[in-house]
Structure 1
Amino acid sequence: MNIKIKSSPVIGGLDGAFKLKRIPDQVYRRISDYFELNYQFKNGKEMRLGNYYLCLDKKISDSFVAFIKQILESNFSEGVFPEGFKPSNETLSDDERKGNFTFGSFDMAVTEKGLQNIEFQAVATYPISAAKMNTILLDSIAETNAFAFPDDVNMRWNDFIQHYTNIFSSESNHVVLVDRRINQQKTKFEFFATSKELDIPLKIIDVKDIFEKNNCLYFKEGEKNNKITTFYNRILITEALYKDNYPYNTNYWKFRFDKKYNDLKYINHPLKQFQISKRLCPYIKHNYNPECYELSDIKHLFKQGELDYKKFIWKHKWGAAGSDLIFEPNEKELKKIEDKTENYIAQNKIKYKLFKTDDHFEKIVELRFMTGVFKGKLNIVPMARVGHVEKGKGGSLNYKIHFSDNNKMGFGFSPVIIFDN
């Protein structure tokens, strides 16, 4: 299953292709106030809005978009997945029934050599809130030849909202956004952003409150049972499987993703998270993709000393949100997962570019492009995670990019603006 993607060299080199600039204080406050008022986002409580933004050269952006489009157009095997996830075609949206995935997140490390693939998966992360953050910033700074959306320089906020509204309202006007343990989710501000900004009624529902009746799905609101016709899935498959014992814990899971229900359509069916995931990385041939293997194919080379543990990171194929990563593999770690190495990939470690900013901190950047597809039309929203570096034993560098490690001023969830230089 090789996914051959044509590499497109960036003409003119990388000088100035990535820059971090401070967001003007009054604009930063405007973004922070908007998020708190409309999205219930308490800046600095669980995560932080970054007060720097990434300036991204359009040539790099175009190259990243081309990479994503070729992934979207590639043929890949369905793969093997656990019980309870194979959907009935009748419950899939039109795009997903045709083999596409509605939402995706593609993460790249910014390095001295350019972009390097970290991972991608068919999950929705922060498209609505990131688009609002980017457009507030763009409308507030005096920049020319600058854009908020990588795939369409003419797109504006209202166009973007219409695209996302179409994704949901094409199935019905009664949409439920579903996740597990909603009050514990750090991403819940994105749920409130989706409910606030889309031009359709949308309910945010905890999965434990959904039940099956007369071959339909319902949720209870007060004394009323409300029928679900459009199910926007935000549940991560690893959390469903390993934390909530889906599908066997029937006291918690009162429905199944592999069952056909009357009048129901899924948006972002969890099956897509298996199909479009880190499992594909060993088969992508592209200069953005670091050396990567199926761990089960090369574990003997680690044991024999032909491959250096220190040069690799091991990743669970379906892990998300920074989970199921083995940053420092060794013989002991290999023994722990000996009977399940088929679930892991071994990827060459990436060396991030260090940015020095006017607050005298060194920073690293992960660039994320979030995709939303409606009737084959692609929309992409960029965002950045701004992190830091810690020195480990023997002078090794530990890259801290996740939001929980960067809840301090100067770091965190940050805007991206694209410049045509």
Structure 2
Amino acid sequence: MQKEIRASFNQSFSEVKYQEFLADLNNATQGSLEFRVAETPVFVPKSLKDKLISTCESIIDVIAGDDFKAKTDKAIPTEQNVPNENEHTSFLAIDFAVCQDDQGEFVPQLIELQGFPSLFGFQYLLSETFQKHYNIPDDYDFLFNDFDRKSYIDAFKKLVVSDEQLENVIILEIYPEKQKTRVDFEVTEKLIGVKAVCLTKIIKEGRKLFYINDGVKTPIHRIYNRLIFDDLTNFPDLRTAFSLTDDVDVEWIGHPNWFFRISKYTMPFLNNPYIPECRFLSDYTGKFPENLSDYVLKPLFSFAGTGVKINVSESDLTTITDPENYILQKKVKYEPVIQTTDGSAVKCEIRMLYIWQKDEARPILLSNLARLSRGEMIGVRFNKDFDWVGGSVCFMER
């Protein structure tokens, strides 16, 4: 998006250099990456960065409001309501499409948001590896708010570990060694010392939880949660001693309820020039927008794009029996803004990554994630067999 920097990067790019970059990423982990990493980082000019941040702050105004919990109580499915919810989310991830306005200026458009952790560990490694293999301008950074690499780790560790002993804090997942994002667990353990533990390995005794750590039965006091209920539906016959909805003596870092509260459910409450029109389907009293081709239908309770309908007809809407569980959102036009070495351009989505310390009034912007796409939608299954697509990181102009 910065023409001079993009031209310089593309001119110096080679497939050999890219393969060396990937090899370095793979060598930093125990196994090869399970998802595609793009050939390039994203260079974001300050004008777009400022728009991204100001839009995020307007969203945070809503989330930090005194009435937000009351507004979003219905977002949590009754059978998935987890006890001991904390006062606010520990994490906030806000996704934007990069678009262009009528004047040709780069502008963000909100796609989704979630009160759930993203790849805080892997993005640290990815940005570091890009900086090692490519010439990244000194006045561009992947961090915000005067964080450097040391203070990044310190802030992340303070949030997850706090004053606990490392052995009493775990990352919770289901079969973490099989997850495509397992590289993030490996990097996180290296950065802050917290291990990933499978839900099936948790021992429950009354209100207490334990796991076996190097052969020793060890109490769990804090859970850095990376497990969502949708993942558990893939294992209908799973039997565990501990269920997420059990009332136990642990502190959640990334409480499961916030995954539902801060989600597509939040979007109808937001208002900003860079947030597309969005309403609950149940809010329409029989009269839908005439230009339905300009809208996308999304189920509230789905993950990774499942159930999203891009080409919407009125019959699609009238046959839905639970309209309160759907949103109708104005479509966003992703603009191919990143030039590749073959003269084509690819689309870009930017995720702004926030952490929210326990006693702070608001979350703070820490890092970012980017995804590049040639397909109709962002995501691995829509970008198979393409190059210059996949996960990346933004370096934004200071």
Task: State the secondary structure of the residue aligned to 1:315.
Answer: strand
Matched, 1:300 2:286: yes
Q: Which residue of 2 aligns with 1:261?
A: 248
Are residues 300 and 372 of structure 1, via their aligned partners in 2, closer, same or farther at CA, if it must alter by over 3 Å? same
Matched, 1:125 2:110: no
State whether residues 80 and 229 of structure 2, in contact with CA within 8 Å, keep that contact through their aligned partners in structure 1. no
Deviation per CA, 1:232-289: give whole Å up to 9, x if none.
Answer: 111123334x4456xxx7x534334344323x21110110011111111112110111
User: Size of the alignment, in residue pairs?
Assistant: 375
Return the offset for 1:56.
Answer: 0.5
- Aligned-residue sequence identity (percent) comes to 20
Structure 1: segments with no counterpart, 5+ residues: 1-13, 390-398
Matched, 1:219 2:173: no
Cα separation, 2, equivalents of 1:18 and 1:238: 41
Of 7, 25, 28, the residue aligned with 1:35 is 25
Matched, 1:55 2:43: yes
Cα separation, 1, equivalents of 2:296 and 2:265: 14
Are residues 339 and 312 of structure 1, via their aligned partners in 2, closer, same or farther at CA, if it must alter by over 3 Å? same
- The one-letter code of the counterpart of 2:161 is S
Of 373, 381, 387, the residue aligned with 1:409 is 387
Cα separation, 2, equivalents of 1:386 and 1:167: 30
Structure 2: segments with no counterpart, 5+ residues: 102-106
Deviation per CA, 1:144-201: give whole Å up to 9, x if none.
Answer: 422221x32x322111111111112215222211122434422222111211222x3x
Return the offset for 1:206.
Answer: 1.8
Cα separation, 2, equivalents of 1:138 and 1:285: 37
Cα separation, 2, equivalents of 1:41 and 1:155: 30
Task: State the secondary structure of the residue aligned to 1:296.
Answer: helix
Structure that is richer in strand per residue: 1
Q: Which residue of 1 aligns with 2:263?
A: 277
Are residues 227 and 66 of structure 1, via their aligned partners in 2, closer, same or farther at CA, if it must alter by over 3 Å? same
Are residues 112 and 340 of structure 1, via their aligned partners in 2, closer, same or farther at CA, if it must alter by over 3 Å? same
Q: Which residue of 1 aligns with 2:310?
A: 327
Q: Which residue of 2 aligns with 1:313?
A: 296
Of 201, 218, 224, the residue aligned with 1:232 is 224
Cα separation, 2, equivalents of 1:31 and 1:158: 23
Of 317, 321, 345, the residue aligned with 2:327 is 345
Deviation per CA, 1:320-345: give whole Å up to 9, x if none.
Answer: 32223122223554366x22221111
Cα separation, 2, equivalents of 1:125 and 1:157: 18
- The one-letter code of the counterpart of 2:387 is M
Q: Which residue of 2 aligns with 1:10?
A: none
Deviation per CA, 1:97-148: give whole Å up to 9, x if none.
Answer: 3x32111211100111211000001111212211322234346525242222
Q: Where in structure 2 are the equivalents of 1:59-74 lying within 5 Å?
A: 59-74=47-62
Q: Which residue of 1 aligns with 2:187?
A: 193
Return the offset for 1:384.
Answer: 1.1
Return the offset for 1:296.
Answer: 1.5
Task: State the secondary structure of the residue aligned to 1:62.
Answer: helix
Per the normalisation by structure 2, the TM-score is 0.84
Q: Which residue of 1 aligns with 2:153?
A: 161
Cα separation, 2, equivalents of 1:387 and 1:35: 21
Q: Which residue of 2 aligns with 1:396?
A: none
State whether residues 273 and 318 of structure 1, in contact with CA within 8 Å, keep that contact through their aligned partners in structure 2. no
Return the offset for 1:220.
Answer: 4.2
Q: CA RMSD in A?
A: 2.9
